[in-house]
Amino acid sequence: MKSTAPWAEKWIWAALILLLPITSMPLIIRLVRSDSVAAPSALLLFGFGLVWFLPFVRHGGFFPKVTAPFLGFVAVAITATLTSNFYVIPDEKGLNPIFSQFSALVTLVIGAAFYFAFSLWPAKQERLAFTIRLLNWTGCVVLVWAGAQALAWYTNFGYPQWMRDFHELFSAGPLNRQRVLGFALEPSWLAHQLNMVFLPLWLAASLKKLSWHSWRVSRFTFENILLVGGVAILLLTLSRIGLIAFLVMLAFVLLRATQWASRKIVMKIIPQNIQPEKTAFRWQRMVTLGVFLGLGLLYLGIALGVGWILSHLDIRTAKLFQFDFGQEDPVLYYARQINIAARLVYWQAGWGIFSQYPWLGVGLGNAGFYMPAHLSNYAMGLIEVRQLLFRSDALLNIKCLWVRLLAETGIIGFSFFLAWLFNIGMMTYSLEKHSRQSISAIGLAGVFACIALVVEGFSLDTFALPYIWLLFGLTTAASIIVSQE
Same domain, 297 and 412: no
Same domain, 293 and 438: no
Same domain, 234 and 269: no
183 domain-assigned:
yes
Name the residue among 178, 217, 107 with its Cα closest to residue 465.
Answer: 107
Same domain, 170 and 42: yes
**Rounded CA gap, 365 and 106, in Å?**
10
Same domain, 280 and 425: no
**Rounded CA gap, 192 and 179, in Å?**
14
474 domain-assigned:
yes
Please report which residue ranges of 215-372 form alpha helices under DSSP H. 222-237, 240-269, 277-311, 315-318, 330-337, 341-356, 367-370
**485, exposed or middle or buried, with CB in 10 Å at 0-12, 13-18, 19+?**
exposed
Residue 330 vs residues 319, 339, 385: alpha-carbon distances, Å: 13, 14, 20
CB atoms within 10 A of CB 419: 15
**Rounded CA gap, 278 and 325, in Å?**
47
CB atoms within 10 A of CB 473: 25
391 domain-assigned:
no
Which of 103-117, 370-384, 401-415 shows the lowest per-residue confidence on average (mean pLDDT)?
370-384
Same domain, 98 and 169: yes
**Rounded CA gap, 102 and 100, in Å?**
5
Give the pLDDT score at 147.
95
Give the pLDDT score at 55.
79
375 domain-assigned:
no
Same domain, 190 and 278: no
Which of 35-39, 232-236, 251-255, 277-281 shows the lowest per-residue confidence on average (mean pLDDT)?
277-281
Where does a domain end: 291, 312, 333?
Answer: 312
Where does a domain end: 289, 312, 335?
Answer: 312
Instruction: Give pLDDT tens digits for 418-440.
Output: 999 999 999 999 999 998 999 99
DSSP of 390-455: HS-SSPP----HHHHHHHHHHHHHHHHHHHHHHHHHHHHHHHHT-SSHHHHHHHHHHHHHHHHHHH
Where does a domain end: 312, 341, 369?
Answer: 312
Asked if residue 21 lies in contact with residue 141, where contact means CB atoms within 8 angstroms, the answer is yes
Instruction: Give pLDDT tens digits for 25-63.
Output: 888 877 766 655 668 888 888 888 888 877 777 777 777
437 domain-assigned:
yes
Same domain, 234 and 134: yes
Res. 307 pLDDT band, cuts 50 70 90? low
27 domain-assigned:
yes
End-to-end CA distance of the chain: 16
Number of domains within the chain? 2
| Residue ranges making up the domain that contains 66 | 6-238+400-484
**Rounded CA gap, 184 and 172, in Å?**
8
Same domain, 18 and 85: yes
Instruction: Give pLDDT tens digits for 273-299.
Output: 554 555 555 666 666 677 667 777 777
285 domain-assigned:
yes
426 domain-assigned:
yes
Give the pLDDT score at 51.
82
Please report which residue ranges of 208-239 form alpha helices under DSSP H. 222-237
Res. 219 pLDDT band, cuts 50 70 90? confident
Give the pLDDT score at 4.
47
Q: Measured at the alpha carbon of residue 154, what is the angle toward residues 203 and 232, in degrees to the nearest 5? A: 5
Residue range 253-274: mean pLDDT, rounded: 70
Higher pLDDT, 113 or 50: 113
**Rounded CA gap, 96 and 220, in Å?**
55
Same domain, 159 and 296: no
Give the pLDDT score at 255.
82
Same domain, 202 and 303: no
Same domain, 269 and 165: no
For the chain, state the CA radius of gyration. 24
Name the residue among 255, 355, 333 with its Cα closest to residue 295.
Answer: 255
